[in-house]
Amino acid sequence: MKKNMGSLDRSLRILVAIVIGYLYYAGTLSGTLGIVLLVLAVVFALTSFIGFCPLYLPFGISTCKTKEGK
Give domain status of residue 59, yes or no.
no
Give domain status of residue 32, yes or no.
yes
Give domain status of residue 67, yes or no.
no
Is the confidence at residue 69, as pLDDT, over 50? no
**What b-and-e string marks burial along 24-58, b requiring 16 or more CB atoms within 10 Å of the CB?**
beeeebeeeebeebbeebeebbebbeebebeebee
Q: Mean pLDDT over residues 46-51, rounded?
A: 93
Grouping H, G, I as helix, E, B as strand and the rest as coil, residue 61 is coil
- Specify the pLDDT at position 68: 55
What length does the chain have? Answer: 70
Which residue range is the domain that position 22 belongs to? 7-51
How many separate domains does the chain show?
1
Using one digit for the tens of pLDDT, what is the confidence trace for 5-44? Answer: 999 999 999 999 999 999 999 999 999 999 999 999 999 9
CA 32 centroid distance within chain:
20
The pLDDT confidence band at residue 46, using thresholds 50, 70 and 90, is very high
* Reported pTM: 0.84
Is the confidence at residue 52, as pLDDT, over 50? yes
